[in-house]
Amino acid sequence: MTPDRSNPKRMARHALTGEGAHVATKSVFDGLGWSVAGIRPPGAAHTVFEVLNHMTYWQDWVVHWLAGQSPPVPKHASGGWPGEAAPATRAAWARAVRHFKKGLAMLERGCDLPPGPRRGGKTAIEMLALTAAHNSYHAGQVVVLRQLARCWPPASGGATW
Residue 107 located in a structural domain = yes
pLDDT score of 161 more than 70? no
CA-closest candidate to residue 52, choices 155, 146, 126: 146
In a domain, 130, yes or no: yes
Would the pLDDT of 1 be above 50?
no
**112 inside domain:** yes
Provide the whole-model pTM. 0.89
Collect all residues with Cβ–Cβ distance below 8 Å to 111 and sequence separation of at least 6: 9, 10, 12, 13, 16, 125, 128
What is the chain's mean pLDDT, rounded? Answer: 88
CATH number of the structural domain spanning residue 87? 1.20.120.450
Task: Identify whether 2 is part of a domain.
Answer: no
* Structural domain of 110: 21-148
Q: String of b and e for 117-138 (b: at least 16 CB within 10 Å)?
A: eeeeeebbbebbbebbeebbeb
Contact (Cβ atoms closer than 8 angstroms) between residue 143 and residue 136 = no
CA 97 to chain centre: 10
Residue 10 lies in a domain: no
Q: What is the Cα 108 distance to its own chain's centre?
A: 11
Of 70, 59, 64, nearest to 96 (Cα)?
Answer: 59
pLDDT tens-place string over residues 81-122: 999 999 999 999 999 999 999 999 999 888 777 766 777 788
pLDDT, residue 65, reads 92
In a domain, 12, yes or no: no
Give the total number of structural domains in the chain.
1
Q: What is the DSSP letter of 122?
A: B
Given a contact cutoff of 8 angstroms between Cβ atoms, the answer to whether 90 and 38 are in contact is no
Distance CA 116, CA 35 (A): 43
The verdict on residue 13 lying in a domain is no
Residue 20 — pLDDT band, cuts 50, 70, 90?
confident
Note whether residue 14 is domain-resident: no
